[in-house]
Copies of this chain bind each other. A is one copy, B any other.
């Protein structure tokens, strides 16, 4: 499978998310790339994304876990397979039922973060995704997202 950007395959009407919406010009525009097994994103926090001097804001890290976890769920549940590029922007959207974030060690400012996501458990109604955020070669944050298909009532 050719790597693709998951958020570029979200439907037109659901691509405004502050964290990862390609149509939100005030947002973080997180891009998660799927290789068939794992989702990977890279993000460099801005100087304003500070917690205490020298360290990245925990709420931003939680946001990265959230959007990247949901993207991982969406790609892991996709059955289009090899034809994803041809299929176009119509990946099923997921929402966050719960989010857990462990801040294992402080995350330094000014470095590119690598974010990986793996689906641990998958069924029709929920996907459990593990997300890790690394900087300078060390895992700084470990998160878990419980993702559920977008309910019809939110459409």
Contacts and interface: CB of A to CB of B under 8 A. Distances in A.
A101 B46 CA distance: 25
Given A17-B51, A62-B62, 10 more contacts: A17-B52, A24-B50, A27-B48, A52-B93, A59-B64, A62-B66, A63-B63, A98-B101, A98-B102, A100-B100
Interface centre among A21, A50, A53, A54 (most CB of B within 10 A): A50
A128 interface: no
A100 B99 contact: yes
Interface size class of A (residues with CB under 8 A): 35 or more
Contacts of A62: 59, 62-63, 66, 99, 101
Interface of A: 13-14, 16-19, 21, 24, 26-27, 46, 48-55, 57-60, 62-64, 66-67, 93, 95-103, 106, 150, 154
Contacts of A60: 18, 59, 63
- Which 10 interchain pairs have the tightest Cβ spacing? A59-B63, A26-B48, A62-B62, A18-B57, A99-B101, A58-B96, A59-B66, A98-B102, A100-B100, A19-B59
